[in-house]
């Protein structure tokens, strides 16, 4: 392996220890070159396999490349002077507003790790549910809290101009640079930059010339702008804030722990037998020793002491100089190995050589310092862009540092008692804040952090914050309560089961038809207690649900905006529902994306209740669409936008409503970004909705109802209502799915079960026309000999079949979804239904009407929009259900041409195997 020179850069403006003395260089030292990107430590390597440059993404011709020993950045020699991408060890210096990530298991597409820049392979890969950060599980502790800022936290107000949120790599290989118009994406290396909001793409050397303000891109009208969302989040994790179900996450309890032996280290350990190397276990502080979490460092059998320290610093992604650190034998009294490694004659002495057969376990420590340069960031100047640098000594207190920083920031006239110094730990899993006391010694504080963990010190930042009273206002939505109770009755139930405190908790909204209330809580600890307790409580045998709800400040909504409320049913469409949930959280603001299995549709409608104009996207089957429409109808009077238009991504089996509205026969992995573009350009149409009263009673001449024991059952119908053989097949399918739900994850399997059930009914005969009486618009209708009776609101039935038929008939009008008419059709049996679905026949046209009355004389299977049950004898009345609903129909015309780089998803290319260096 060639190793003729090293390129290292430590920028005075970027390094946290820039004022420190540089390492002495002897005549035998390796040459250092000037590089513009901070943190990298390049060495010349001999390439053994096809390799691509991470700067220009071009193939490296020849056998020589330059590899960063810290983050594995690979570069041409000609590109070294143009590299602008900082090393992974410098990530904490680039964080603007610390926002923790929300890690979950990675998807199926191959990606590159944003920390070590290598391929993600196997089950240990993780991805953030909110931004485009992909990492190995053992690299996650070294990623920083640089996730997207999706809301204003409490009473804090960040920059009024929203900035781009740049993320490197993992984009489509055909993406083009917004500046130079050349290709900037790559499937062979982690290269190129992309804004996580607007989707703009650029080269790493070009994006710094792009204006910092982000326009939110082509989807700006439907994105819920972060500036208008407010939430008090202090005691809640990101999973709680974004309502991400905990069962969808992998076990990340040890995410902040460093894995004991990475696959790379294992390979190095195996190779050490052949190359004369040894592998050391290195701990970065007392916490790592206690947890037995270490990094493996592979070094030659004989090596200089300072080079061992430098290798240990690289393993922990620390950008500091090696002469400021020392190695101690773990578990023994301090045995420091930090003497100057080169004598004046240029040859190593005995004390400066790290010899063979050294102990396996070592502890990396920072040398004690008499003073230190500390950056303190100004919280009120937004985004942490401005800071003051002060030199703290042994006697420097927090009060003194506040006074000194205020002087540097031209606020020397301010009263220091109105400010606090806050320590912020920006690890990947959560952002931890601690207010320091006035007489606390800062140098002792820094040494204490480094003793616990050097990695933690590298991810810690200090802020000077105005000390003002902040109003605490946490909103919780509690569901699962009994329906149709008064506000006082709900308050009594909550007091009994959750012991809520009246002076801290107020019921601000009651949804009695849904059995839910909204609580406004003025204390963080009380909000956290109620949130957690509700998840483990039940009322009348029904489990309660608890969700943290954001507030939307409507006065800050962009003019002309129409944000999109997204519902996803992850149980529909197999794995496609879960992947859509991730994609929409990433493309849009995760506060506008709701998982229907976690609290149902009410949470989203309440969040958007004050928004004057919004649209809804439902990702699921026809049953899911009906669920959302039902809740919308129940609380419509409480919405500022009572008639939002609704679009569909079909994830069900039949998807008849989606077919009629041109959204397709079923979602099969189309680009989510393109789907959103189609939704933005879709046209609004009206659709009838019908109410079905089951077990309805006849009215007597005096206007009084006949006596009955139970009130009539009321259901709403959007697509169709069936009695007889059609409902019987649906019921058998439903029962089969209830017995083995895990097998019903694909449309192909579901349709196969339908066929199997239908074949079992071939010999089944039943004279349905003898068991029911039909009245349409108060006129008795004689039924032919049929086995099934179906009432159609839309011209699609049974996965796209045209049951009514296209033949013209002067007796009936052409069916439409907004004509206030139902089409009544009969089928003679399973064979007839199969012929209809095959396009060979149509059903038997019986009637059209606006008011239907059915008399059932025997128990009979019925189904409404695919939901079946056995109906007892009695009356069934079908009538119009109030106002029509607005639906979105996909336009036939082609989409508007989108600007280059605006497409955010669609990165379907799988990166090829990575580069190799020897």
Domain range annotation of the chain? 371-466, 474-549, 691-699+708-885
474-549 is a CATH 3.30.70.330 domain: yes
Q: What value does the mean pLDDT take over residues 705-727?
A: 75
Strand partners of residue 692: 715, 878
> How confident is residue 93, by pLDDT bands cut at 50, 70 and 90?
confident
Q: What value does the mean pLDDT take over residues 600-611?
A: 95
Quote the DSSP letter at residue 256: T
Q: What value does the mean pLDDT take over residues 247-251?
A: 47
Q: What value does the mean pLDDT take over residues 429-433?
A: 84
Q: Which residue has the tokens 């209502």?
A: 721
pLDDT(345) > 80: no
What is the spatial distance between Cα 104 and Cα 134, in angstroms, rounded to a whole number? Answer: 10
Which pLDDT score is estimated for 344?
A: 32
Of 745, 513, 516, the C-alpha closest to 637 is 513
What is the spatial distance between Cα 527 and Cα 473, in angstroms, rounded to a whole number? Answer: 9
Q: What value does the mean pLDDT take over residues 575-583?
A: 86
Which pLDDT score is estimated for 817?
A: 92
Q: Count Cβ neighbours within 10 Å for each residue of 785-823 and write b for 16 or more, e otherwise.
A: ebbbbbbbbbbbbbbebbbbbeeeeeeeeebebeeebbb
Residues 6+ apart with CB under 8 A from 228: 552, 553, 554, 555, 556, 557
Highest mean pLDDT pick, 9-23, 597-611, 795-809: 597-611
Q: What value does the mean pLDDT take over residues 422-432?
A: 86
> How confident is residue 7, by pLDDT bands cut at 50, 70 and 90?
very low
> How confident is residue 677, by pLDDT bands cut at 50, 70 and 90?
very high
Which pLDDT score is estimated for 757?
A: 52
What is the share, in percent, of the chain residues with pLDDT greater than 70? 79
Of the listed ranges 356-370, 654-668, 810-824, the least confidently predicted one is 356-370
648, containing H or E segment: strand 646-650
pLDDT digits (tens, 9 = 90+) for 141-159: 999 899 999 998 876 666 5
What is the spatial distance between Cα 775 and Cα 877, in angstroms, rounded to a whole number? Answer: 9
Which pLDDT score is estimated for 741?
A: 55
pLDDT(596) > 80: yes
Residue 471 structure tokens: 């109003």
Taking a C-beta distance cutoff of 8 angstroms, is the pair 566, 574 a contact? no
pLDDT(75) > 70: yes
Taking a C-beta distance cutoff of 8 angstroms, is the pair 183, 174 a contact? yes
Which pLDDT score is estimated for 750?
A: 53
pLDDT digits (tens, 9 = 90+) for 293-315: 899 888 887 788 888 898 899 99
pLDDT digits (tens, 9 = 90+) for 841-851: 888 999 999 99
Considering only CA atoms, give the Rg of the chain: 33
> How confident is residue 765, by pLDDT bands cut at 50, 70 and 90?
low
Specify the higher pLDDT residue, 712 or 805. 805
Strand partners of residue 861: 870
Sheet of strand 474-479, all strands in order from the earlier edge strand to the far edge: 505-511, 516-521, 474-479, 545-548
What is the spatial distance between Cα 642 and Cα 629, in angstroms, rounded to a whole number? Answer: 12
What is the spatial distance between Cα 801 and Cα 799, in angstroms, rounded to a whole number? Answer: 6
State the CB neighbour count (10 A cutoff) for residue 216: 20
pLDDT(565) > 90: yes
> How confident is residue 540, by pLDDT bands cut at 50, 70 and 90?
confident
> How confident is residue 742, by pLDDT bands cut at 50, 70 and 90?
low
Which pLDDT score is estimated for 23?
A: 37
pLDDT digits (tens, 9 = 90+) for 396-412: 999 999 999 888 888 88
What is the spatial distance between Cα 359 and Cα 377, in angstroms, rounded to a whole number? Answer: 42
Quote the DSSP letter at residue 709: S
pLDDT(746) > 90: no
State the CB neighbour count (10 A cutoff) for residue 656: 28
Q: What value does the mean pLDDT take over residues 41-52?
A: 88
> How confident is residue 558, by pLDDT bands cut at 50, 70 and 90?
confident
> How confident is residue 593, by pLDDT bands cut at 50, 70 and 90?
very high
List Cα–Cα distances, 722 to 299, 715, 803, 850, in angstroms.
75, 13, 12, 16
What is the spatial distance between Cα 167 and Cα 193, in angstroms, rounded to a whole number? Answer: 6
In the three-class reduction of DSSP (H, G, I as helix; E, B as strand; rest coil), residue 862 is classed as strand
pLDDT(612) > 60: yes
Q: What value does the mean pLDDT take over residues 416-435?
A: 87
- Label each residue of 62-116 as H, E or C: CCEEEEECCCCCEECCCCHHHCCCCCHHHHHHHCCCCECCCEEECCCCCCECCCC
Residue 390 structure tokens: 């002060």
Q: Where are any strands of DSSP class E within 673-771?
A: 683-687, 690-696, 713-717, 720-724
Which pLDDT score is estimated for 94?
A: 85
What is the spatial distance between Cα 326 and Cα 335, in angstroms, rounded to a whole number? Answer: 9
Residue 713 structure tokens: 């059952």
CATH architecture label of 371-466: Roll (3.10)
Of the listed ranges 542-546, 779-783, 910-914, the least confidently predicted one is 910-914
Q: What value does the mean pLDDT take over residues 585-600?
A: 93
Q: What value does the mean pLDDT take over residues 197-205?
A: 91
Question: How do strand 542-543 and strand 538-539 relate by DSSP bridges?
Answer: antiparallel
pLDDT(376) > 80: yes
Rounded to 10 degrees, the C-alpha dihedral 185/190/191/197 comes to 70
Which pLDDT score is estimated for 653?
A: 77
pLDDT(769) > 60: yes
> How confident is residue 254, by pLDDT bands cut at 50, 70 and 90?
very low
Which pLDDT score is estimated for 450?
A: 92
Specify the higher pLDDT residue, 735 or 751. 735
Which pLDDT score is estimated for 22?
A: 39
Residues 6+ apart with CB under 8 A from 552: 224, 228, 229, 230, 607, 608, 610, 611
Highest mean pLDDT pick, 53-62, 68-77, 414-423, 605-614: 605-614
> How confident is residue 30, by pLDDT bands cut at 50, 70 and 90?
very low
Alpha carbons within 13 A on the beta-carbon side of 793 = 29
Average pLDDT value for the chain: 81
Of the listed ranges 330-344, 450-464, 817-831, the least confidently predicted one is 330-344
Residue 723 structure tokens: 């009695």
CATH architecture label of 691-699+708-885: Sandwich (2.60)
Which pLDDT score is estimated for 639?
A: 94
Residue 391 structure tokens: 């030199």
Of the listed ranges 271-275, 491-495, 615-619, the least confidently predicted one is 271-275
């Amino acid at each position: 392996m060639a190793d003729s020179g090293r390129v290292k850069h430590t920028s005075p403006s970027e390094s946290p220890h820039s004022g420190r003395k540089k390492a002495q260089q002897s005549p035998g030292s390796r040459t250092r070159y000037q590089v513009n990107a901070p943190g990298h430590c390049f060495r010349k390597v001999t390439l053994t396999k096809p390799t691509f440059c991470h700067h220009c993404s071009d193939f490296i011709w020849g056998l020589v490349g330059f590899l960063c020993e810290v983050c594995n950045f690979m570069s041409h020699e000609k590109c070294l002077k143009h590299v602008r991408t900082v090393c992974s060890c410098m990530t904490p210096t680039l964080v603007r507003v610390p926002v923790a990530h929300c890690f979950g298991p990675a998807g199926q597409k191959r990606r590159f790790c944003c920390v070590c820049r290598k391929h993600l392979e196997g089950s240990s890969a993780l991805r953030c549910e909110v931004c485009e950060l992909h990492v190995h599980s053992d690299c996650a502790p070294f990623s920083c809290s640089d996730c997207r800022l999706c809301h204003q936290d409490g009473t804090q107000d960040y920059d009024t101009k929203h900035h781009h949120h740049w993320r490197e790599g993992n984009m489509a290989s055909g993406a083009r640079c917004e500046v130079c118009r050349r290709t900037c994406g790559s499937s062979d290396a982690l290269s190129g930059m992309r804004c996580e909001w607007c989707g703009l793409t650029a080269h790493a050397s070009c994006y710094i010339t792009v204006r910092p303000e982000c326009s939110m891109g082509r989807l700006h009208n439907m994105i819920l702008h972060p500036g208008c969302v407010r939430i008090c989040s202090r005691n809640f994790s990101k999973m709680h804030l974004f309502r991400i179900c905990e069962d969808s996450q992998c076990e990340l309890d040890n995410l902040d722990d460093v894995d004991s032996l990475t696959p790379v280290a294992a390979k190095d350990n195996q190779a050490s037998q052949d190359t004369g190397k040894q592998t050391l276990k290195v701990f970065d502080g007392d916490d790592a020793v206690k947890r037995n979490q270490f990094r493996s460092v592979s070094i030659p059998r004989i090596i200089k002491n300072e080079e061992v320290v430098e290798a240990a610093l690289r393993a922990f992604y620390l950008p500091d100089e090696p002469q400021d650190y020392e190695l101690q034998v773990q578990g023994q009294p301090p045995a420091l190995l930090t003497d100057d490694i080169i004598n004046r004659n240029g040859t190593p002495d005995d004390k400066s050589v790290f010899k063979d057969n050294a102990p396996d376990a070592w502890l990396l420590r920072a040398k004690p310092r008499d003073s230190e340069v500390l950056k303190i960031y100004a919280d009120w100047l937004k985004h942490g862009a401005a800071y003051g640098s002060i030199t703290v000594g042994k006697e420097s207190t927090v009060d003194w540092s506040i006074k000194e920083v205020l002087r540097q920031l031209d606020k020397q006239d301010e009263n220091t008692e109105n400010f606090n110094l806050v320590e912020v730990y920006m690890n990947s899993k959560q952002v931890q804040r601690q207010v320091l006391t006035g007489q606390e010694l800062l140098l002792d504080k820094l040494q204490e952090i480094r003793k616990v963990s050097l990695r933690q010190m590298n991810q810690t930042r200090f802020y000077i914050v105005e000390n003002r009273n902040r109003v605490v206002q946490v909103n919780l939505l509690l569901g699962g309560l009994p329906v149709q109770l008064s506000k006082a009755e709900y308050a009594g139930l909550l007091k009994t089961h959750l012991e809520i405190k009246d002076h801290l908790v107020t019921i601000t909204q009651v949804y009695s038809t849904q059995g839910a209330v909204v609580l406004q809580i003025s204390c963080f600890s009380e909000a956290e207690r109620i949130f957690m307790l509700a998840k483990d409580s039940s009322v009348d045998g029904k489990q309660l649900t608890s969700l943290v709800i954001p507030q939307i400040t409507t006065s800050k909504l962009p003019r002309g905006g129409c944000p999109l409320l997204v519902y996803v049913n992850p149980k529909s469409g197999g794995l496609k529902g879960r992947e859509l949930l991730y994609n929409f959280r990433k493309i849009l603001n995760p506060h506008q994306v709701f998982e229907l299995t976690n609290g149902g549709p009410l949470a989203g409608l309440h969040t958007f209740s004050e928004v004057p104009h919004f649209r809804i996207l439902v990702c699921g089957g026809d049953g899911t669409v009906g669920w959302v429409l039902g809740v919308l109808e129940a609380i419509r009077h409480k919405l500022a936008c009572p008639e939002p238009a609704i679009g569909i991504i079909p994830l069900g089996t039949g998807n008849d409503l989606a077919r009629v509205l041109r959204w397709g026969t079923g979602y099969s992995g189309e680009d989510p970004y393109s789907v959103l573009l189609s939704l933005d350009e879709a046209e609004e149409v009206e659709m009838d909705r019908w109410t079905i009263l089951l077990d309805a009673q006849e009215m007597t001449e005096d206007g009084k109802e006949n006596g009955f024991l139970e009130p009539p059952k009321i259901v709403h119908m959007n697509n169709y209502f069936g009695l007889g053989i059609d409902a019987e097949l649906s019921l058998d399918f439903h029962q089969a799915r209830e017995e083995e739900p895990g097998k019903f994850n694909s449309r192909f399997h579901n349709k196969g079960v339908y066929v199997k059930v239908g074949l079992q009914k071939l010999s089944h005969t039943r004279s349905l026309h003898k068991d029911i009486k039909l009245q349409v618009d108060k006129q008795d209708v004689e039924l032919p000999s049929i086995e099934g009776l179906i009432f159609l609101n839309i011209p699609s039935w049974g996965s796209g079949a045209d049951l009514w038929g296209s033949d013209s008939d002067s007796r009936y009008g052409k069916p439409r979804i907004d004509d206030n008419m139902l089409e009544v059709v009969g089928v003679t049996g399973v064979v007839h239904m199969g012929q209809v679905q095959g396009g060979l026949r149509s059903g038997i046209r019986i009637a059209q009407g606006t008011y239907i009355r059915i008399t059932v004389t025997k128990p009979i299977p019925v189904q409404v929009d695919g939901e079946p049950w056995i109906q007892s004898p009695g009356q069934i009345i079908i009538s119009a259900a109030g106002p029509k609903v607005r639906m979105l129909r996909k336009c036939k015309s082609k989409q508007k041409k989108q600007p280059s780089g605006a497409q955010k998803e669609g990165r379907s290319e799988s990166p090829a195997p990575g580069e190799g260096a020897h």
